[in-house]
Structure 1
Amino acid sequence: MISSSQIKAARALLGISATELAEKCDVGQATLKRYELQEGIPKANTKVLYKIQTYLEGCGIEFIGDPLKSPGVILHKNAK
């Protein structure tokens, strides 16, 4: 699972807004913004978090570390 800080960091690395990410993942904007406001792993529908994670990974994001203790992201520019 991914943390809210990893979602925000991934968006920053990709240079996309929360609105853009919500549209790409077919997730409500309010839902995504609510997830990003939470600490740690968002209290969320697992399927929705998986959609977000899968999309970001497809854009070259690698989620590293423990999402609660040491969350991190890496952008692989050569991906997709």
Structure 2
Amino acid sequence: MRILCKLQDFTQLITSSQIRSGRSALGWSATQLGEAAGLSLRTIQTAEAENGHNKVRKSSILAIKATLEAAGIEFIGTPDDGPGIRIYGGSPKS
């Protein structure tokens, strides 16, 4: 049980709303994010759903995070205190 709790905390490094916001800021569809991250559309949809993180693998969350960061999205705040995004490096890349 302790390992499961740690896994859930780790996947909460970014929130579902941060994933949706980052994708939207880039003008990407869920399909485009999935293709860029090497994940299925269903995985992206689950990760973006409220409480969907509990159903998505840690590696998938990390792939989504890395993909959005590489495209110019910075994740700010923490899941419990002012989570958000910032676009850096000029205009978003698509």
Query: How far, CA to CA, are the matches of 1:68 and 1:14 in structure 2?
Result: 24
Moved over 2 A (4+): 77-80
Matches within 5 A, 1:1-40: 1-39=13-51
TM-score normalized with structure 2 length: 0.75
RMSD of equivalent CA atoms: 1.8
Equivalenced residues, count:
79
Unaligned residue ranges in structure 2 (runs of 5+):
1-12
Q: Tell me the equivalent position of 1:70.
A: 82
Question: 1:37-76 CA distances to partner (integer Å, 9 max, x unpaired)?
Answer: 124x711211111011001001110000112332100001
TM-score normalized with structure 1 length: 0.87
Query: How far, CA to CA, are the matches of 1:37 and 1:49 in structure 2?
Result: 13
Q: Tell me the equivalent position of 1:49.
A: 61
Which entry has the higher C-alpha Rg, 1 or 2?
Answer: 2
* Structure ranking higher on relative contact order (CA contacts 8 Å, 6+ apart): 1
